[in-house]
Amino acid sequence: MVAKGKIVWVSGPAVRADGMSSVKMYETVEVGESKLIGEVIRLTGDVAFIQVYESTSGLKPGEEVVGTGQPLSVLLGPGIIGRIYDGIQRPLDDIAEKSGAFIGRGITTSPVDMKKKFKFNPTVKKDDTIFGGSILGTVEETPLLTHKILVPPIFPEATITEIVKEGDYDLEDVIGQANSKNGDKIGLKMYHKWPVRKPRPYAERYDPTVPLVTGQRIIDTYFPIAKGGTGGIPGGFGTGKTVTLHQIAKWADSQVVVYIGCGERGNEMTEVLVEFPHLIDPRSQRPLMERTVLVANTSNMPVAAREASIYTGVTIAEYYRDMGYDVVLVADSTSRWAEALREMSGRLEEMPAEEGYPSYLASRLAEFYERAGRIRALGSPDRSGSVTIVGAVSPSGADFTEPVTTHTIRFIKTFWALDTRLAYSRHYPSINWMQSYSGYLEDISKWWKENVSPDWYDLRAESYHILQREDTLKEIVRLLGPEALPDEEKLVMEVARMLKIGILQQNSFDKVDTYCSPVKQLKLVRLMVKFYKESQKALKEGKSLADIRALPIITTLLKAKFEVTDEQISKLDEIDKQLSDSFKGDIEEVKVSV
């Protein structure tokens, strides 16, 4: 039965309607004459509390509210990749076509083009048994991505009675028939719907043991994140959150990227739209847009849709995970999502917890981050996929003790703390290496040892130890001046400076430096550690620190990150040799070609 009620009260995005006794919690409803889209978030008697995803300006008590019988869902099928959606999966280009450059209200569009033909290639045949989540066939969605057509996750065991031949079909075409065990005939299509607030089921969950390679040295080498893992990146404004997230979205070695712009700047989404079609994936030589989905609900778009955008994004991510892909989900920024929760909670007149945020903020954050993971998908054939979630946090006043940051830290395993002071001195990425941590270090070190080099773990630890020592020595220098330190410790300061410039700092806008392969990362770190050891030895042998500081090899080491491209990686071995030569014999006399 369709619920039909009348508006009794309006305040901003919150609307109360009575006569709604047959409506369900989280059901989508059409509000008012202009049929604004809303969702039921509380029921008291026959009064429904509705959050409306569009501006409620001009809405009157007495106007009709009609239930749709459906929870808020996304449509999952080929045609999603490369699109930009608002918080409730309406394509922004269709909206622009219907209402011009400014976003109008009450617009209904289909998330994907239902009339577009895709070349379907069946992988099942008659009499095959299928389950929920099984793959029926493939469609080339973009040259970069083969879309696997999935049976909806909740589906009875059934036998295929009919499947179409290879050919062009649109989304509404029936591509096959199946008979379930109790005799039901079920038509199969290339898409299905899934409610956004419900995590998609999987067969089994694996431990995250494979790193997500991002090509960013401070992330991959020092604070790595695993495929299927969770990471948080809090930072005040101007610390480069968005640039870091863009870097991850660009270079991460995943097959699909879902980028959620949640309550952020309009121009940032435009930047992604302008830039990504021209950026070439280093592994496949295809434009990055061919693996990217954008969900954009900018800060000036309706606040309730901002709350939904996170769920819309993560559900799309899970769908591609179920095909057996590694998906990265980037959410910028979860603080704005939390603010949307706070605003709705305030309008519902709920009892606030810290700073006006609702008491369920922590559990909502936990639910969201728990949707990350590396899993074995349902159905046949056997396959595994992952969703990695990276969330930006925008703490007010760059204060990491505020509720959204403190709660987020509890549910993530990799923490990249952005530092305002580093950003002020233009040290980018401004990830503070003393505050950040990664809980995946032990899990993924095996991958590095097997795929890159056995000494990875030790090199990382040795170089990190230098940075740690510098951090304590810095305090002494601040009080007593640099001359108060013995030469050995001055050397630590010098090498730490080199690590900061040559390894930690990475220029996202430099053609070479923007992406650094794992092998290059390792070799660069190895060079720095070797320089430190050789210098230590030279000092013990009575050489002066001034001579070491004057070595021309230092400039070579500092510039190697952007002078040596990944193609000519062997140049780093030549530098290694030069480094050894620099310390041979009397160091002043050695001439080094730079």
One residue of 45, 183, 481, 542 binding other proteins per CB under 8 A? 481
Binding region for other proteins (CB under 8 A) out of 162-170, 324-332, 392-400, 455-463:
392-400
- Residue 516: how many CB atoms within 10 A of its CB? 24
Residue 278 binds to other proteins (criterion: CB under 8 A): no
d(CA 279, CA 46): 53
Nearer to other proteins, 1 or 479 (CB): 479
Lookup: tokens for 219: 């992330």
Residue 237 binds to other proteins (criterion: CB under 8 A): yes
Q: What are the φ/ψ torsions at residue 237 (nearest 5 degrees)?
A: -75, 145
Binding region for other proteins (CB under 8 A) out of 53-61, 188-196, 369-377, 443-451:
53-61
Residue 263 binds to other proteins (criterion: CB under 8 A): yes
Binding region for other proteins (CB under 8 A) out of 67-75, 97-105, 164-172, 431-439:
97-105
Residue 445's contacts (CB-CB under 8 Å, 6 or more residues apart) are 456, 457
Secondary structure (H, E, C), 400-436: CCCHHHHHHHHHCCEECCECHHHHHCCCCCCECCCCC
Rounded to the nearest whole angstrom, what is the least distance from the CB of residue 274 to other proteins in the complex? 5
Cα–Cα distances (Å) from 282 to 81, 279, 392, in that order, read 19, 9, 25
Residue 422 binds to other proteins (criterion: CB under 8 A): no
Secondary structure (H, E, C), 126-182: CCCEECCCCEEEEEEEECCEEEEEECCCCCCCEEEEEECCCEEECCCCCCEEEEECC
Query: What single DSSP character describes residue 485?
Result: S
Binding region for other proteins (CB under 8 A) out of 2-10, 221-229, 307-315, 410-418:
2-10
Choose among 137, 170, 172: nearest CA to 151. 137
One residue of 172, 204, 207, 399 binding other proteins per CB under 8 A? 399
For tokens 């040559």, the residue is 502
- CB of 530 within 8 A of CB of 576? yes
Assign 76 to helix, strand or coil: strand
Residue 296 binds to other proteins (criterion: CB under 8 A): yes
Residue 47 binds to other proteins (criterion: CB under 8 A): no
Nearer to other proteins, 90 or 371 (CB): 90
Site for other proteins in 353-372 (CB under 8 A): 355-356
For tokens 């080498």, the residue is 221
Site for other proteins in 498-517 (CB under 8 A): 501, 509
Site for other proteins in 180-209 (CB under 8 A): none
Site for other proteins in 120-149 (CB under 8 A): none
Choose among 418, 69, 35, 369: nearest CA to 223. 418
Rounded to the nearest whole angstrom, what is the least distance from the CB of residue 88 to other proteins in the complex? 14
Residue 41 binds to other proteins (criterion: CB under 8 A): no
One residue of 23, 50, 74, 92 binding other proteins per CB under 8 A? 92
Site for other proteins in 209-228 (CB under 8 A): none
Choose among 264, 259, 263: nearest CA to 294. 259
One residue of 174, 274, 461, 569 binding other proteins per CB under 8 A? 274
Residue 394 binds to other proteins (criterion: CB under 8 A): yes
Residue 277 binds to other proteins (criterion: CB under 8 A): no
Assign 477 to helix, strand or coil: helix
d(CA 216, CA 395): 24
One residue of 121, 123, 142, 396 binding other proteins per CB under 8 A? 396
Residue 11 binds to other proteins (criterion: CB under 8 A): yes
Q: What are the φ/ψ torsions at residue 590 (nearest 5 degrees)?
A: -75, 130
Choose among 386, 144, 429, 147: nearest CA to 280. 144
Burial of 125 (0-12, 13-18, 19+ CB in 10 A): exposed
Rounded to the nearest whole angstrom, what is the least distance from the CB of residue 443 to other proteins in the complex? 34
Rounded to the nearest whole angstrom, what is the least distance from the CB of residue 272 to other proteins in the complex? 9
For tokens 């040290």, the residue is 427
One residue of 59, 66, 279, 519 binding other proteins per CB under 8 A? 59
Lookup: tokens for 167: 């050919």
Nearer to other proteins, 119 or 424 (CB): 424
- CB of 406 within 8 A of CB of 400? yes
Nearer to other proteins, 229 or 261 (CB): 261
Residue 342 binds to other proteins (criterion: CB under 8 A): yes
Strand partners, 178: 160, 186
Residue 486 binds to other proteins (criterion: CB under 8 A): no
Nearer to other proteins, 61 or 187 (CB): 61
Torsion sign (Cα): 198, 200, 203, 206:
negative
Binding region for other proteins (CB under 8 A) out of 52-60, 445-453, 534-542, 573-581:
52-60
Residue 102 binds to other proteins (criterion: CB under 8 A): yes
- Residue 477: how many CB atoms within 10 A of its CB? 16
Nearer to other proteins, 199 or 302 (CB): 302
One residue of 39, 307, 332, 343 binding other proteins per CB under 8 A? 343
One residue of 3, 5, 16, 149 binding other proteins per CB under 8 A? 16
Residue 471 binds to other proteins (criterion: CB under 8 A): no
One residue of 51, 56, 388, 414 binding other proteins per CB under 8 A? 56
Lookup: tokens for 357: 């945020």
- CB of 592 within 8 A of CB of 578? yes
Residue 8 binds to other proteins (criterion: CB under 8 A): yes
State the number of binding residues for other proteins (CB under 8 A): 71
Nearer to other proteins, 175 or 499 (CB): 499
Half-sphere exposure of 354 (CA within 13 A, CB side): 11
Site for other proteins in 306-335 (CB under 8 A): none
Rounded to the nearest whole angstrom, what is the least distance from the CB of residue 259 to other proteins in the complex? 12
Residue 339 binds to other proteins (criterion: CB under 8 A): yes
One residue of 244, 298, 386, 463 binding other proteins per CB under 8 A? 298
Residue 19 binds to other proteins (criterion: CB under 8 A): no
- CB of 196 within 8 A of CB of 312? yes
